[in-house]
Chains A and B, each alone.
Chain A
Amino acid sequence: MTNLEKYRNAFVEGLGVSEDQVDGLTFQAVPAWDSVGHMSLIAALEDAFDIVFDTDDIVDFSSFEKGKEILAKYDIVI
């Protein structure tokens, strides 16, 4: 599985959205991306890439695109 596939799957699993909703998704654009959804997404990404996000990155993780930039800090290229 490619990193992009893992990344997309984490959104589907963490937020419970369908695959066609994932691209370009932003924080609170869907009801599922609330406080609980955000932490589920963070947990799904940490499991998928075997990383632990810094608190700053949890706060800054505001969109599908921003998440790619944040993951690059952990040497994960999407």
Chain B
Amino acid sequence: MSDLKYQQFKGNSAADIPAVSENCLYRAEIPYAPENYSEMSRKGYIFADRTLGVSIAVNKCSLDLDKMIRFSIEASSGDDEDVLNIALASFPFDRRFHVRPVPDNEVAGDIIRKWVSELSEVYVCKYKDKTVGFIDLEPYGDNDCFIHLAAVEERYRAAGVAVSLYAFALKKAKEKGCDKLLGRISAGNTAVMNLYTYLGGVFSEPVDVFVRNEI
């Protein structure tokens, strides 16, 4: 376990984010605006990633979701360890977890463990009785669902497991009567971006992620 304390901030602009002061890990999120960069730099941060909100209008989706769900998917039951192991192996650079300028697996591992322990509605994809991927679908606001975390074991990543999981999430959102299926992804994650686009996702609300400048 990493001994470093971790502080996370969200604001509307750089003015809302405190300067780094303690010897601890910092991660800050603010909506994209070019004028933030110099102030964030003065406060001791460096730019780490840009994320995009994504929204799928559930009732406008005319895809044959059952045809897209080609793997067995079920509510998680006793799959926590598998889910954690897949998550630990799946995010080598993801800035939700890598809060140091240079990716640090020990620190990221601690944050991933916390994230996974807080997941509440996990569905797992099984192939030959093995868990090969998962997706967590959380209620959001009054009438939407949010994909909080999803990952697929590397070997099965492009074999249709991800498509099956996201199509399943969309089907679940329909069954729950949700208006929108929401998510947030790194702008650099083109694989997931293509997947959301295929499902009718629309991207908006860019948010910049900054971490403490240790370089």
Check if B25 is an interface residue, CB within 8 A of chain A. Answer: no
The interface residues of chain B lying within 8 Å CB-to-CB of A36 are: 163, 194-195, 198
The interface residues of chain B lying within 8 Å CB-to-CB of A71 are: none
Residue pair A38, B159 in contact (C-beta under 8 Å): yes
Among A36, A42, A43, the one with the most B-chain Cβ atoms within 10 Å of its Cβ is: A36
Given the interface pairs A27-B158, A58-B160, the reply to whether A35 lies near B71 with Cβ below 8 Å is: no
A42 to B71, CA, bound (A): 14
The interface residues of chain A lying within 8 Å CB-to-CB of B198 are: 36
Residue pair A35, B70 in contact (C-beta under 8 Å): no
The interface residues of chain A lying within 8 Å CB-to-CB of B67 are: 43
Check if B185 is an interface residue, CB within 8 A of chain A. Answer: no
Check if B6 is an interface residue, CB within 8 A of chain A. Answer: no
Check if A28 is an interface residue, CB within 8 A of chain B. Answer: yes
A27 to B68, CA, bound (A): 19
A42 to B203, CA, bound (A): 27
Residue pair A58, B159 in contact (C-beta under 8 Å): yes
Residue pair B70, A55 in contact (C-beta under 8 Å): yes
Among B156, B160, B163, B198, the one with the most A-chain Cβ atoms within 10 Å of its Cβ is: B160
The interface residues of chain B lying within 8 Å CB-to-CB of A4 are: none
> Which parts of B154-180 form the interface with A (CB within 8 Å)?
156-163
Which 9 pairs across A and B sit closest by C-beta, in order of nearness? A35-B162, A39-B163, A59-B159, A36-B198, A35-B158, A39-B160, A36-B194, A58-B160, A38-B158
Q: Which residues of B contact A (CB under 8 A)?
A: 67-68, 70-71, 127, 156-163, 190-191, 194-195, 198
Q: Which residues of A contact B (CB under 8 A)?
A: 27-28, 31, 33-36, 38-39, 42-43, 53, 55, 58-59
Besides A27-B158, A36-B163, A39-B70, 6 new A-B residue pairs in contact (Cβ under 8 A), listed by A number: A35-B160, A35-B191, A36-B198, A38-B158, A55-B127, A58-B160
